[in-house]
Chains A and B, each alone.
Chain A
């Protein structure tokens, strides 16, 4: 009984923080999304469902939503491909090297978001170092236009989200008993077979958590697409910011934000439901 109470007490700060900075703002935003648009001011008098009708009915916003979700999925998938081998390595290295590799993996997060993105802009600029290198080597004749397209947005997002993928997967891999891999080998399984039948399924709880994390972060990313994506790609987060700050249409902006959050939640729910049989078997 005492332990239960002390556990509740320990939870109070986190709960208060969530109420103050997640629940209350969401209620406020939901209320805002139902307000009438105003003229000459952020919102008008009275309530309406019209903002949601607009957000879901306009092909511009539907397309931007689809692109944002797709961007999240692609970035998550690429991160997984790049991160899994790193995580395998990190899970195996001795404790002395573990710290060194750990710092290397986390390094993208040690640079602020603006510095990181301006860094990409400098490196990839038409007269930037990468183009100059390629010209000098002779691989290209004219400088490439590498900035302001979807590809570079994906590249930059993958770069920064790899740590979010590597760390949970490494953790999951470190929790796998080495005797299981030996048992599989002693039963005649090749290394490849052992990986797909034993190691990968048992690391799935980490993979699942990492995929959700990166998908949500990438789908809702604002700064990187805004700086590196240019005008070519309309993604929902930047359209939301346009509404809130540019057009000063708070109710409509709030409705778009709610739509984005709901859509991401649906994707995450669907993914968790589909992968539940495996996750239930492999979580310890």
Chain B
């Protein structure tokens, strides 16, 4: 059971700040994902946690005690690397048993614990193989077993699925999350893939240019983004400038846009008359019933996707909106359409509208 508190972490490389005042917390047993594009500081944050990089400022506390003065060998954290980092000259058994041998554990117990760890990742029978004789998915399982077998206080995963193909990615993703929850290990997970972040995490930290923009559970990040950057990085997001007309219930507002009027959710205390950016996910938009009010748009393009059709439309003032329609609906570009907006999935963001 491990709690982690990262406070005010900063790091500068050759005058370029890569981390600026990063603060995060992980409760015991929680999986926290650091999500962002390359160069956003997510990997540097993880490397500070692992002890491979010393931050210029800030503090990392594990169960209340600072770990900054400890080298990586003394932290007792399991690290899983993007390129697996298996020792190429050691067999699967020797790789997994490495951390146990280092700890001076007896041969019999090493054998037992390695067997257990390999069973957890379903790799029994491959003990004597060298890593290069394994597939990518098997190698990453070995890497996971090697990190778990030492019963680490904290599990750190640096884009562990990035080198796997799409099918394997799902499989190993489920395995990692399953083991992590079963063993109740606190974990930090780095990725640039928003779907991965949504699927795996208890909480997601969206990072950009060395800063944490928002740190919240996946559903909140997705439905209540704090900025248009977070909205767009975590999925398809339609952004519509609107004028707030007034509150109709706590956290629910009526708004007006060039395309029409509607209702949307928003944080408390928005003053009527302010201009805001409305964020609507494609699934918040659907064709309104005949004769009912909504947002008037013109269809620009229809793309058949199989299970659905992607409809790209635009309002009269040129704002592009994307939504998904049933595959059998027959609509041609140029057709006029009135859209119903689900207020639960429409969110007035703090950004002021232009």
Determine if B55 is an interface residue (Cβ-Cβ < 8 Å).
Answer: no
Q: Which residues of A contact B102 (CB under 8 A)?
A: 187-189, 193
Using CB atoms, name the residue of chain A closest to B94: A197
Question: Which among A183, A184, A278, A281 has the greatest number of chain B C-beta atoms within 10 A?
Answer: A183
Chain A positions 198 through 232: 1 when the CB is less than 8 Å from some CB of chain B, otherwise 0: 10011000000000000000000000000000000
Q: Which residues of B contact A182 (CB under 8 A)?
A: 50, 52, 72, 79, 81, 85
Chain A positions 155 through 197: 1 when the CB is less than 8 Å from some CB of chain B, otherwise 0: 0000000000000000000000101101111111110010001
Cα-based distance from A202 to B90 in the complex (angstroms) = 10
CB distance A281 to B72 under 8 Å?
Answer: no
CB distance B73 to A180 under 8 Å?
Answer: no
Interface size on A, residues (CB 8 A): 21
Q: Which residues of A contact B76 (CB under 8 A)?
A: 188
Cα-based distance from A115 to B59 in the complex (angstroms) = 60
Cα-based distance from A263 to B150 in the complex (angstroms) = 50
CB distance B79 to A198 under 8 Å?
Answer: no
Determine if A6 is an interface residue (Cβ-Cβ < 8 Å).
Answer: no
CB distance A186 to B83 under 8 Å?
Answer: no
CB distance A186 to B77 under 8 Å?
Answer: yes
Cα-based distance from A201 to B74 in the complex (angstroms) = 24
Cα-based distance from A186 to B52 in the complex (angstroms) = 9
Q: Which residues of B contact A183 (CB under 8 A)?
A: 79, 81, 85-87, 146
Interface secondary structure of A, over-half rule: helix
Interface size on B, residues (CB 8 A): 29
CB distance B150 to A177 under 8 Å?
Answer: no
Q: Which residues of A contact B210 (CB under 8 A)?
A: none
CB distance B87 to A188 under 8 Å?
Answer: no
Partner of B50, one of A177, A186, A193, A202: A186
Partner of A177, one of B85, B146, B156: B85
Interface residue ranges of A100-154 to B (CB < 8 Å): none
A180-B85, A183-B87, A193-B102 known; A188-B50 Cβ under 8 A: no
Determine if B71 is an interface residue (Cβ-Cβ < 8 Å).
Answer: yes
Interface residue ranges of B59-104 to A (CB < 8 Å): 71-79, 81, 83, 85-89, 98-99, 102-103
Determine if A265 is an interface residue (Cβ-Cβ < 8 Å).
Answer: no
Using CB atoms, name the residue of chain B closest to A204: B89
Cα-based distance from A212 to B160 in the complex (angstroms) = 40
A187-B146, A189-B102, A281-B130 known; A179-B85 Cβ under 8 A: yes
Cα-based distance from A281 to B86 in the complex (angstroms) = 13
Question: Could you list 10 examples of A-B contacts with CB < 8 Å?
Answer: A177-B85, A179-B81, A180-B87, A182-B85, A183-B86, A186-B75, A188-B73, A190-B73, A198-B87, A281-B89
Q: Which 4 A-B pairs have the closest CB atoms?
A: A187-B99, A179-B85, A186-B79, A281-B89
- Besides A183-B87, A282-B89, 12 more A-B contacts (Cβ < 8 Å) are A179-B81, A182-B50, A182-B52, A182-B72, A182-B81, A185-B52, A186-B50, A186-B72, A186-B75, A188-B74, A188-B150, A284-B88
